[in-house]
A and B are shown apart, each in its own frame.
Chain A
Amino acid sequence: MPSSSPSSGASSAPPIVSALPFESAAVRRSILAAYWLVIIFALPLWWSSTSIERLSLPNSRVWSETTRTLQFPLHVVVNEGGGASGRHDLDRQLTERRRHDPEAWQGLQLHVNTGETHIPPGGPVAYEVDIGPRHGSSILDSRRLSCEESEVADILNSLLAPYGKGADRGDYRVAKYSPRYRLTFTLLNEDSAAGAAATGWGIEDALDRHITPVLSRLSDLHNFTVESQVQFHAPLAFKPVPVVIDGKEEYGLTQEDLTVFVNSAEWTLSSSVSNDPVLHFVLFVPSAARRPLHILNSEGWGQHGLRNLSDNLFLEGLPSTSDAFILPQWGGIVIYNPPSHIQDHAHLSPSHLERSFNVFLRQLLALLGVPPLPPGVSSSEISLTTWQLDALLRRRSVENVAGCQETLQSIVKLVDQIPNMPVGQDVRGDILQALSELEQTYDAAKTSPQLALVHSSRASTLASRAFFNPGMLALLYFPPEHRYAVYTPLFASATVPLIAAVIREVLAWRRQRKGKEGLENDPGLPGKKKTE
C-alpha cells in the first residue's frame, strides 16, 4: 500500500485515522447531521401534508350566544277613563297569569302603560287596549283591542301568549319551520271503477275562495307552492268495519285505523323534485261499495257493543261529529261522502267543496301553528288578525333560535369529541355567520318580529348547513392504524441505521474525549484504541 507508507510513523504508534482526506470525524458527523437536518426540516412538511384541516371554532362565543334567550318586548297601552288604577290592575292580573304559566310567557317582556305614554314610531311593538263597557263581543282591530274590563286580562293573555300548556294541545302537530312549503291537494277516489266516483273538482276556484287569502296573509312567514292532483284508485291498506248508525248500515273508521290510513305504498303523494317540506291535503272519496264512511268516536265501541243484524255481526258505532283528521306534520285528510244522487264521473263543484275546504283551511292553520282566536272575540280583519300573526312570528323566531342554538352546540360538542374530524373554512364561516345572524335576531326582536324571523331563519339554515357539511366526514373513516401500516415499512427501515449511527458517534465522541483527558492526565498511557 504505497499511500500508507509516508504517513506511517513509528511501529508502536496507533493507526492514524485522519490519513484519508475525507476520513475525519468532522466530515462524518456533518454527513450525519445533514441527514438529521433534512429529516427535521421535512417533519413539519410531512405533518402539514398528512394532518387534516381543523380550524378552531369560536367555542366561547358559541356558548355565550346560545345560552341567551330571545326577548320580545311587548307594550300594552291602556286607554281608559279611569287612569292609572286600571293599568295597575291589569298589570297585576297579567303578572299573576304569567306566574301561573311561565312557559307561555317565556321570552316576552310585558310593559303595561297608560295612554299618555308616548311610544315612538319604529320602536317596539305596541298594542292598544280600549277598556270600556261594550255590547256584544270584543273587537280586534290591527293591534287594537276593545273589550270589557272583566275580560281584558283573559283575552290579552290568550292573544299575546297563546302557546301555553292548556291552550294549544299539540306542539307536535306543527310542521317544522321552512321558508317555503309545498301544499299538495289531492282528490283521492278509493276505487273509481266501482262507480259514482268524483273524477274532477273545481280546485282552482275553491283555492281562490278559501286558501289563497290566508296564504297571502302569511307571506311574511312562508312562501307556498300550491299544486293539486286527482287519483282514481287509492286502495286502503285495511277494510273499514261495517257499523250500524241510527239503524242504517254504514262504514266506520276506528281511531286505530286512522293511524294507518295513509297507504303510502299505493298512493302517489310524495314529491321528488325539491327539498321543501310538503303538506298534504287529501279529500278522500270512499268506494261506492263502502259508503258512507265515518270516523267513529273512541267511546263508540264500549258503549254499544255487538248487535246481530240479518245474520251478520255488525258493530254499532257512534259516528264522530267530524269527518276529518290531522296527521301531525304531514297534512290533513277529509273524508267526503258524495251525496247519494251523484252521477258517475261527477265533477265536484265549489259548492260541494265548500265545507271540505273550510276544514282544509283550519287544518292548514293548525299545521302552521297559527293560534286560534280566544272565544268571544271577533275581528274586523279578513282571515288572520295582526295579533295572531305577531304571536306566530314570535313563536317561529323562538323555535328557529332554539333549533339554531341546539345545532351550534352540537357541532361544537361533536368537533370536541372526535379529534379526527376536519373543520374546514366553509364550516367555520357558516358558524360565524350563523352567530352573527343570531345576534341580529336578538337585536331585531326589540323592534320588529318580522326581521327577527328573517334573521332567525337564516341563522337556523346556516347552522344546519354547517352541521351537515359533507367535508366534516372526509377523514372520519381513515383510521391511524392504516397510516402506520403504510409508514412503518418505509420509515422503520430507514431510521434504524440513522439512529444507530448517532449512538455510535456519540459513543465514539465520548470515548475520544475520555481518551484525551486520559492523555492529558497521564501522558504515559497509549492513546485511543482502534475502534473498528
Chain B
Amino acid sequence: MYLHWLAISYSLCLPYLILGSFAAHTEQFDEDLVLRSLRDGKVLSRFSFTTRLNGTTPRNPQSLGSEDSSQHYTLFPLALGQVLREYAVSELHLSLNAGKWNYERWGYPEESGVGTGAELWAWMGAGDPTTVDERWQGLRNALAGLFCASLGSLDEQRTTSPSLAFAPEGSLPNWTLPHLLRHASLPSEHVCTENLTPFLKLLPCKALSGIASLLNPHRLFDADWHGMSVHVLWHEDMGVEVRLAFQAVFDPIRMSLEQKRDWSLQSIFDRSIRRSCPVAASSQIRVELPRDQAYSLGPDPTEIDGEYAIFNTKNVTEELNVSLRWPFEAIFEYPLEPPTVPLTHFSVRRILTGSSQSRGQLSITIQNNLPAQIQTIYLETMPWLLEFYLHTLRVHCDGRSRDDLMSLITYTLPVPHSRPTLFEAALTLPPKATIQITMDVTKSFLRYTEHPPDAQRGWDLPPAVFVPINIPTSLNQTTSLSQDKRSGRPLELRRIYTPTLLVDLATPDFSMPYNVIIMSCTLIALTFGSIFNLLTRRFVLVRVTDSEEKQDKVD
C-alpha cells in the first residue's frame, strides 16, 4: 500500500519536473567560436561566452549603505556577481593580452581591446556612502584577486578618465547622479595560465564540455598572440550581460611539417569537441570561408551563411573536428611584400625618439587608407614618467604643417609621483593622406625607491588609442573592409591600439646611497676636524733671541 502511494506521488511530480525546467529561466548562456584564416597563413580564433541575467539592473551606489538583496544565480558567475554588486559597477571591461596585434597583416581583431598587457575600465555611478575612487580601488583589488593578475598596481598613478575614447558600450542606468569613467592600463602585465584558470572557472561548463573544452592552455599560450577579456554590460531592454572572450592567433605553418596552412581543431587546439555544454542556449562554431582559393571544409557544416560556415554544437553526438584544407596548395608562400589592399581604414605607427635620458620626442605617423576624410579620437595616457611639452605639438600632413587638423584638445598635466598624463584630441585625417604628429617630452628623474627590480630594462608605456568616429559607410562596400557586419557591432566602437613603447630613464648605480653616506661622512669629518683644530690650537709666542735675529737678518 505504501509503495503504491509512493509511486503515485512520484508520477505526480514528474510533470512538475519537466515543466520546471522551462519555467523561471531568466538566465541565458550562449557560446560562439569564430575561426578565420588570415592573410599571412595564421588562424584567428575568438571564443565568446555570453551570460545574460534578464530583467536585472546594476546596483545603485546610493544603496550601498543598506543590505543588498540575496544573489541567486544559476548560470551567471557568482564570484563576478559579488564583485559587481559590492562595488556597484554599471559597466566593466577588463582585458589581459600578450603580444603585439599586427593590424596590417591581421586586420581588425574580433575583440577590439588588444592593447598589450592589462587594461581595465569601468563606468560607475557616483554615490553617497563611498566615492567612485574608493570603489575603483576595491574593484581592481577584487579583480586582481579573482584573476590572479597584478591589477592592484593600477593605482592613482595610472588611472585616468578619457571620456571620449571609452564611451559606454551598453546603456547606463538613469540615476540622479552621473556616471563616471575610470580607465587604467598596465602594459608590463604578463598573461599566463594562472589568469586562464580563474577565467575558465567563471564559465558554466568550465573547460569540460562545449566549445570551452577547446581552451587548452598548452596551445593557447603558445600562440603568436593571445588575450582574454571580460565585459560586463547592461542593456536597458534585457538586463546585465557578462561576456567572457578569448582571442588567439595561431600559426598552423609553424606546427605543420609540410609548411601548409591547413588546420583543424585538433591541430591548433590539440583537442576536439566531444560533448556539448548542456546549459548553452546556443552554441556554434563559425568558420570564415576563404575567398581566394579552392578549399575543402570538413565535416559538412550545419549551414552556410554568406561567408561563414556554421557548425551547430548544441547537440554533439560524435566527435567534432572542424578542419579547413587547401588541397591545391603544395607549400604556403608567406607574403613578403606589404599587403596591397589595406585591411584597416588607417594605420598608425608610434615611436619615441631621442637618445638622451632626459629629453625625447614622441612621433606618430597615421596613414589614411581611405579616399575619404576620417574623424578620429586620439588618446595618449602616460604615467607621470613622461611629460609632454604641448607647445611643441606639431601636425604635418604630407610634409606641410596643418595645425588645423587637431582640435578639441584635452590635456591633464601629470603630477609627479601621483597623477598620470592624459592627452585626448579629435583628429581629422584627410583622404589618402599621411599625418605626422610630433611632440617633445621630458623624462622624469625617479626616486631611488621608485625603480623596479629590473631597472635597466626600462619602463613600458601604455598604447595610444585611436577611435574612428565617423567613417563614410558607402566606402565600406567598395573596399574590402566589411568587418562591421561580421561582428554586428558598430564601427564606432572599433578602437585601434598602437604597440607599447619602452622608455629608458636615468637609472642610478644602486650602491649609490652607501657611497653618499661614506662620502658625506668623510667631508664632514674633514671640515669639522680642521675647523676644530684651528679653534682650539694653542698659539704660542716664541721669543727669538738676539743672535737668532741677527742670523735672520744675515740670512
Contact = CB atoms under 8 A, between A and B. Distances in A.
Interface stretch (A123-131, A346-354, A355-363, A413-421): A346-354
Contact of B74 (A191, A230, A270, A339): A230
Contacts of B541: 1, 4, 7, 15-17, 19-20
Contacts of A202: 20
Given A20-B539, A228-B71, A493-B529, A1 B202 contact: no
B176 interface: no
B275 to A, nearest CB: 5
A171 to B, nearest CB: 30
A490 B525 contact: yes
A227 B71 CA distance: 5
A233 B209 contact: yes
Q: Which of B73, B146, B525, B545 has the most CB of A within 10 A?
A: B525
Given A199-B74, A232-B279, A494-B528, A347 B539 contact: no
A498 B531 CA distance: 12
Interface in A476-532: 486, 489-490, 493-494, 497-498, 501, 530-532
Contact of A498 (B25, B146, B532): B532
A273 interface: yes
Contacts of B525: 489-490, 493-494
A197 B21 CA distance: 11
B10 A532 contact: no
B17 to A, nearest CB: 5
Question: Chain B contact residues (Cβ within 8 angstroms of A): what range?
Answer: 35 or more
A207 B70 CA distance: 11
A308 interface: no
B202 A15 contact: no
Interface in A203-252: 203-204, 207, 225-233, 235
Interface string A368-387: 00000000000000000000
B86 A274 contact: yes
A23 interface: yes
Contact of A531 (B25, B77, B538): B538
Nearest to B14: A341
Nearest to A203: B72
B79 A346 contact: no
Contacts of B10: 339, 341
A8 B543 CA distance: 7
A232 B528 contact: no
A456 B376 CA distance: 63
B543 A497 contact: no
Interface stretch (B128-136, B468-476, B514-522): B514-522
B449 interface: no
B397 to A, nearest CB: 51
B1 interface: no
Nearest to B68: A225
B83 A4 contact: no
Contacts of B82: 227, 271-273
B75 A501 contact: no
A273 B205 contact: no
Contacts of B529: 493-494, 497
Contacts of B206: 232-233, 266
B362 interface: no
Nearest to B535: A31
Given A15-B541, A494-B524, A273 B518 contact: no
A1 B544 contact: yes
Interface string A31-62: 11001000000000000000000000000000
A33 B267 CA distance: 89
A28 B543 CA distance: 22
Contacts of A16: 541
A11 interface: yes
Contacts of A197: 278
B204 interface: yes
Contact of A193 (B68, B205, B538): B205
Given A193-B278, A199-B278, A347 B23 contact: yes
B408 interface: no
B13, B21, B275 — which one has the most chain A CB atoms within 10 A of its CB?
B21
Given A193-B278, A268-B201, A273 B74 contact: no
A498 B528 CA distance: 10
Interface string A254-294: 00000000000010101111100000000000000000000
Contacts of B279: 192, 199, 232, 345
Contacts of A8: 543
A229 B543 CA distance: 106
B179 to A, nearest CB: 22
Contacts of B71: 227-228
A343 interface: yes
B542 interface: yes
A490 B517 CA distance: 9
Nearest to A351: B13
A347 B21 contact: yes
22 contacts: A15-B542, A17-B540, A28-B535, A28-B538, A192-B205, A193-B275, A200-B21, A203-B72, A207-B70, A227-B70, A227-B78, A228-B71, A232-B278, A268-B201, A271-B78, A271-B79, A271-B82, A273-B83, A341-B10, A343-B17, A345-B21, A530-B540
**When A and B form their complex, which 7 residue pairs have the shortest distance between CB atoms, in order from nearest?**
A347-B20, A493-B525, A489-B521, A229-B78, A193-B209, A273-B82, A490-B521
Interface of B: 10, 13-14, 16-18, 20-21, 23-25, 68, 70-75, 77-79, 82-83, 86, 142, 145-146, 201-202, 204-206, 208-209, 275-279, 517-518, 521-522, 524-525, 528-529, 532-533, 535-536, 538-545
